[in-house]
Structure 1
């Protein structure tokens, strides 16, 4: 079966390509290389021994998307990662996020709805919950006003997919991730941000390696035990495996509704300072950091109730925070050597 993975050279996308190929799927990667590198293909091949098909394509170009689907008529499913994903950047440049994250989704769905049957996995986010009223967060939690344009694009994306599914043969699973971290245990692929990292863990590993002078901790006056924000950090390989399980659920027609939603996390919240301390433990490095002002768009706390993913989807995160940070550190050391 041929599966399209948009954003397949990115962090989560590349790890999902590996898991798909390990399960015997033929993968077509679509990526515009705006925040990734073609070199990632070498890592995928090194791990799996298989070369995925790669199409350099900007999904914001409607004609290019149409041409792609005319070329690849035998597609069994689409896993859609391609999107801009930094909360802070989205606050500073909202139109970039609305164009990139919404237009690409619309053009993909326009092609899929013409098919007699289509299976679609959407890379969503726990940001759709805003600052949830109760922890841990269940899939039934009310959708709060988004705290950032990035979060809003994920809310809008979910609404678009739901509306289209009602009037087409598209079946979709919306996967709401918490905070992906880590790297493949082989250290052949991992998180490779271009420029200054927007996410905590690559900033930590770069600081640990000496590429950054110190880590900025955005606020220590949140209503949490140590004053820093709490998040649910999930190993990227666990996350990738969930996409394969979700895809198989659709392909085997095990889904109970045309749209299903699952939280993907560990169920455990860790504060920024806890992550720093854990990194120091697994790496043996002392991490210089300073407390700075809060960052606009950040919420206080978010960690998942994973009962639905565990019991209905049949998936469970297996790796610990230590595992994720150790693999991220191994990856950082490899790419800098």
Structure 2
């Protein structure tokens, strides 16, 4: 099997193995996996509204997964996705509430830029520390997740003016002109929360693919990811590329948080923990092997699982969370899958007297 074929076969096999092991777990705990999966998929695709919800759930995951993939191409492990997404979410909602009368097009453009900038700034910090001090971006981004979480919560509590707040821990909904939802898209999907964030995500897929495959910047990012020392010898500044990669990564995550905030919830509120879309976006990117083209398909799977699990009758929805984790486990253990699907050549020893 060629390497190109393995690139799509391994994630597909990982999905099938994850669902198979999930089925075994259901049997162990006394649930019928056939009907559980039937309920899941029939629910997910059972109505136009739920299909719209799948597309809505995909949007932030695609953007955050793209952010993770850019950092990964540069040899970096950006685990600060939840914090970077929350920075974009909180900043964009504050702007939308502060300027509610702006025309819709102007408001959307401004909030997109604000989400990108907020996420990019939070991504730049670990990038600069890694480039100039050699600090592990993993440790820094983990710590920054908590810093951003508590700072964002206090911004909601104390940074929003009284007329922006619905309660001490949640803001008002943004105006219709600032919301990413539209009457047209809602009516098209029978009242779902499907919004323009999906189209922003698809545009981002193309732009990231084009950058990585067709531009000098993408070549430099990939080169530094493979070997920063050789890249330096070839005249590429690894420090600049590291910082730039983390800024782009954070910016995409910030836009993912903006889409979730203004497209799904349409307000900001105190978070009890790091954003789940951050971790799920990482899982989507891993499942897609950090391929921009593969990310929408991986996000589709996660969208189907998240929407469909609500319709499983008598089966705890946490089972599907376990299935999702198993899929990523098998993706992480892809060397085992590759071992079994690669061709095994048997050497034939020549025997005396035979040609």
The normalised TM-score by structure 1 is 0.26
Q: Which structure has greater helix proportion?
A: 2
The normalised TM-score by structure 2 is 0.25
Q: Which structure has greater strand proportion?
A: 1
Higher relative contact order, structure no. (Cα contacts within 8 Å, ≥ 6 residues apart)? 2
Larger Rg: 2
